[in-house]
Amino acid sequence: MVHDDIYRIVRRDKLILRFVSLLFKKLGKAKILDISQRMRQLGRLVSRLLQIDGTNNSLQDFITDESFDTVIRATEEVSEVMSTDDEPSKSHPLLLG
């Protein structure tokens, strides 16, 4: 994994690390690239959430009723950035779920 801002976000977010650990136990080494990709997607989501909210929270802190609209907005914005053509990506929001 590239050591950048997303990496630093992922390394300090306990919920993402727990999720990745469960994925690794379930899928194993054969799917390590897929797991890494999912980890970076969640890191990008948290990065966008931090930009929108202006706080230094973790993913766990955003999983509340009050933050629902913020999470939806961040998911849409991350999905737009990840789209490669004029048509918005439909799979990225589903993966971020």
Chain segment 29-58, per-residue pLDDT in tens: 999 999 999 999 999 999 999 999 888 889
Query: Which residue type is seen at 57?
Result: N
d(CA 83, CA 3): 23
- Of 23, 71, 16, nearest to 48 (Cα)? 71
Asked whether residue 79 carries a pLDDT value surpassing 80, the answer given is: yes
As a whole number, the mean pLDDT across the chain is 85
pLDDT of residue 55: 84
pLDDT of residue 49: 95
pTM (predicted TM-score): 0.80
Enumerate the domain spans of the chain.
5-96
Q: What would the 3-class secondary structure string for 20-52 be?
A: HHHHHHHHCHHHHHHHHHHHHHHHHHHHHHHHH
pLDDT of residue 80: 79
